[in-house]
Amino acid sequence: MTFSLADELRRIAKGEILSDSWSREIYSVDASHYTIKPSMIACPSDESDVEEICQYCFSKSLPITARGAGTGLLGQALSNSIIIDFTRHMNKILEVGTDYVVVQPGLVKGILDKELKKKGKFFPPDPASSNYCTVGGMIANNSSGAHCLAYGSTIDLLQELRVVYSDGISRLINSNSSDREEKDRRITDLLRLLSAHRDIIQKGYPRVTKNSCGYRLDKVINDKAFFPHKIFAASEGTLGIVTSARLKIIDIPLYRHLIVLGFEDLLSAISVVPFILKFSPVALEILDNTVVRYNVSNNSNNINQQLQNEEAGCLLFIEFAGDKLAEVEQRLDSCSDKLSDKCIIIESAADEQSLIRMWGARKNALNRAMKLTVGSRKPIGLIEDTVVHPDMLYDHTQQLLQMYSENKLDYVIYGHAGDGNLHTRPLIDIHSQAETQLIDRLANKVFERVIRAGGTITGEHGDGLARVKYIESVYGPEIYCLFREVKRLFDPRCIMNPGKKVIQYRN
Ligand SMILES: Cc1cc2nc3c(=O)[nH]c(=O)nc-3n(C[C@H](O)[C@H](O)[C@H](O)COP(=O)(O)OP(=O)(O)OC[C@H]3O[C@@H](n4cnc5c(N)ncnc54)[C@H](O)[C@@H]3O)c2cc1C
């Protein structure tokens, strides 16, 4: 009697193995434009299931791709082989300490937020998709959001991980991993490799506050310390599978004040970003008039009705927060006073309900951008996540606008202005060969400029399938060669989410 692959996996794992065509259809898409049908889906019930599945796949050289909620925008969670879905069973909060939380990867960020709030705490990275996305996906993409301006991205708050390697061996990984008696060979080899190249790592990374491109070797090693667990952040499941994570959590500030300012146009709003940063806001976000107009024409109640009456072409959302009311108010007042001749105040609020409502307008920007699809004209996302230093944001935006105008393209621009991280999508007619050929040309032009300015091609959304071919151009051949070495070290048979992060190789 012969067993099918699905039967084999059912024999070794306690969780469900789905191989019916309906399930395969559902898992064939994420929030990108790709469609790739997996051969089957495993829903592990615990870490030992993950170990068994990996061990089996390693022995047969079968590719494995971990999956959270599938909200990745670049095809990160898609594969034609085996998908491991963590949302069904491995979705719990395991421990809440005073300044940390331990969670399983399939936990939805919004559920974590609710639980932490009861204790007056929060885990700062706040993707607009937080009602759906999982902590595992956030780690693997190094997600961030509006408030990362003050608190950092997921990688900055990662304290420790449990990981299952491609051969099914599981390990706890933290800053002490290379000192332990029972040494983890992969981690000691990683330390040796990165120590030998410390110099090029220190010099070769973009000078920006957020970055999800390639592997974040710059966060793994510095002159004083080694943080091996951080190699898994931004790695898109290509080095190992996370089965639990210890994350730093922070006290919710006692006072928060959000002000929404209306500017005549995008460039006048961008021009004041470096000035506003001097007042240390915890968030500084931008919405261009495409999204603003959408809010008005759909009678959205997100921002004050004043928007209906004013000629605000572009909005800046600025939040100040802290535990001393006088300090928060002083920063807000000095900042808004000095901007009074350049903009109008659309709304200013400090109560929680208003803040939730107002942030809703910013949070829905991508959903709204997606709805700009008309027939075969779609908002295309290849250049949608670049980061430059905020001082260079004005020039970068000006060049983007010029490029859109030269090519007669409609577009949307919004994002994390304070970090220099713009989300922009041109509307492209995907049935027009001339326009689709334009996508690569625009990307080459924009990426080349961003890299020359010391920026990165992705601040938080990651590389996935769409941007993998551009990674080498960000870091150059030496660092890219290190990425390949790192991949070989952790995944010698190239079975962990192949085709992502490093262009495919097989030994
Ligand atoms: C409307 C919308 C708004 C968004 N807004 C933001 C935003 O503001 N900021 C932001 O940063 N991102 C944003 N995103 C992108 C996306 O939501 C985030 O990257 C999110 O964290 C992905 O989580 P997920 O659970 O959906 O992961 P998935 O898409 O399922 O997977 C993402 C990657 O994680 C890997 N992975 C998942 N679980 C594991 C695991 N246990 N071990 C190893 N690897 C694993 C997968 O293999 C894949 O490579 C947005 C997306 C949408 C659709």
Count Cβ atoms within 10 A of the Cβ of residue 272 and give its class: 0-12 exposed, 13-18 middle, 19 or more buried. buried
| Residue 309 pLDDT class (50, 70, 90 cuts) | low
Residue 425 has pLDDT above 90, yes or no: yes
Phi, psi of 67 (to 5 degrees): -145, 140
> By the 8 A CB rule, do 421 and 390 touch?
no
Ligand 1 atom nearest to 153, measured from its CA: 11
Q: Cα separations (Å) of 19 from 38, 57, 507?
A: 9, 16, 29
- Its sign, for the CA torsion 323, 325, 327, 332, is positive
The pLDDT tens digits for 211-238 are: 999 999 999 999 899 999 999 999 999 9
The pLDDT tens digits for 279-305 are: 999 999 999 987 776 665 665 666 655
Q: How far is the CA of 141 from the centre of ligand 1 (A)?
A: 6
Q: How far is the CA of 279 from the centre of ligand 1 (A)?
A: 31
Which of 143, 213, 235 gets mutated to test ligand 1 (max ligand atoms within 8 A of its CB)? 143
- Residues composing the chain: 507
Least confident span in 64-78, 289-303, 332-346: 289-303
| CA–CA dist 416, 145 (Å, integer) | 7
Phi, psi of 138 (to 5 degrees): -65, -40
Residues paired with 286 in a beta bridge: 316, 415
Compute CA 462 distance to the chain's CA centroid, rounded to the nearest angstrom: 6
**Where do we find the tokens 């034609």?**
80
Nearest to residue 228, comparing CAs of 169, 168, 186? 186
At residue 301, the pLDDT reads 60
Q: Write the residue with the smallest CA distance to atom 28 of ligand 1.
A: 70
**Where do we find the tokens 């990867």?**
105
Q: Cα separations (Å) of 230 from 105, 162, 290?
A: 15, 12, 37
Ligand 1 atom nearest to 130, measured from its CA: 17
Least confident span in 25-34, 82-91, 140-149, 431-440: 431-440
Percent of the chain with pLDDT strictly greater than 70: 94
Q: Write the residue with the smallest CA distance to atom 13 of ligand 1.
A: 127
- Classify 245 as helix, strand or coil: strand
Residue 310 has pLDDT above 80, yes or no: no
- Its sign, for the CA torsion 235, 236, 240, 242, is positive
At residue 308, the pLDDT reads 59
Q: Average pLDDT in the 135-155 region? A: 98
Any alpha helices (H) in 197-315, and if so which ranges? 198-204, 217-220, 266-271, 273-277, 289-297, 306-309
Residue 1 has pLDDT above 70, yes or no: no
Count Cβ atoms within 10 A of the Cβ of residue 117 and give its class: 0-12 exposed, 13-18 middle, 19 or more buried. exposed
| Residue 17 pLDDT class (50, 70, 90 cuts) | very high
pTM of the model: 0.96
Nearest to residue 501, comparing CAs of 168, 65, 136, 25? 65
Task: Give Cβ neighbours of residue 337 (< 8 Å, ≥ 6 apart).
Answer: none
Q: Write the residue with the smallest CA distance to atom 15 of ligand 1.
A: 72
Nearest to residue 54, comparing CAs of 22, 20, 84? 84
> By the 8 A CB rule, do 386 and 456 touch?
yes
Q: Cα separations (Å) of 8 from 12, 14, 26, 42, 167?
A: 7, 12, 22, 12, 17
Q: Which domains are present in the chain?
A: 5-85 (3.30.43.10), 93-251 (3.30.465.10), 255-366 (3.30.70.2190), 372-452 (3.30.70)
Using a 6 Å CB cutoff, which residues line ligand 1?
A: 30-31, 65-73, 76-77, 86, 105, 127-129, 133-134, 136-138, 140-141, 143-145, 236-237, 241-242, 366-367, 460-461, 497
307 vs 102, which has greater pLDDT?
Answer: 102
Residue 394 has pLDDT above 60, yes or no: yes
Nearest to residue 27, comparing CAs of 95, 75, 96? 75
Q: How far is the CA of 65 from the centre of ligand 1 (A)?
A: 13
Phi, psi of 416 (to 5 degrees): -95, 75
Radius of gyration of the chain measured on its C-alpha atoms: 23
Phi, psi of 106 (to 5 degrees): -85, 5
Ligand 1 atom nearest to 163, measured from its CA: 42
Amino acid type, 70: G
Residue 183 has pLDDT above 90, yes or no: no
Q: Average pLDDT in the 122-134 region? A: 97
> By the 8 A CB rule, do 190 and 200 touch?
no
At residue 370, the pLDDT reads 78
Q: How far is the CA of 177 from the centre of ligand 1 (A)?
A: 27
Q: Write the residue with the smallest CA distance to atom 22 of ligand 1.
A: 137
Which of 65, 133, 231, 364 gets mutated to test ligand 1 (max ligand atoms within 8 A of its CB)? 133
Rounded-to-5 percentages of helix, strand, coil across the chain: 40, 20, 40
Which of 64, 81, 129 gets mutated to test ligand 1 (max ligand atoms within 8 A of its CB)? 129
| Residue 268 pLDDT class (50, 70, 90 cuts) | very high
Residue 135 has pLDDT above 70, yes or no: yes
**Where do we find the tokens 């050289």?**
61
Percent of the chain with pLDDT strictly greater than 90: 85
At residue 434, the pLDDT reads 87
